[in-house]
């Protein structure tokens, strides 16, 4: 699901973007999420660069992402992600 080159909303680099589901698709079929979120909410996401996307999935498993980092604000508020985003922002743009 690569997008045209635009600025990543996390690191600000202009490069190809990938779609990150704020509630990972892997957990959509679980009752906890089906009962609490609409299909529209389950399919919400953000376009971010590959380095930011890889960092999210490296630091957190799908259940943690789904329950604790299911909004852009929660991702941006996380200290570990802030450090990663700062590092990514200094990397060469693809």
**Rounded to whole angstroms, how far apart are CA atoms 3 and 55?**
19
Query: pLDDT digit string (tens) for 75-93?
Result: 999 999 999 999 999 998 7
Whether the predicted model's global pTM rises above the 0.85 cut: yes
Mean of pLDDT over the chain:
93
Share of the chain above pLDDT 90, in %: 91
- C-alpha distances (whole Å) from 78 to each of 14, 17, 51, 63, 84 are 22, 21, 16, 16, 10
């Amino acid at each position: 699901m690569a997008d045209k080159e635009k600025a990543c909303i996390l690191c600000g680099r202009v490069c190809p973007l990938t779609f990150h589901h704020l509630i990972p698709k892997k957990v959509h079929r679980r009752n906890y999420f089906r009962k609490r979120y609409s299909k529209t909410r389950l399919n919400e996401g953000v376009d971010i660069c590959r380095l930011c996307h890889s960092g999210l999935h490296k630091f957190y498993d799908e259940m943690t992402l789904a329950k604790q980092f299911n909004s852009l604000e929660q991702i941006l508020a996380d200290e570990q992600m802030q450090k990663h985003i700062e590092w990514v922002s200094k990397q060469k743009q693809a």
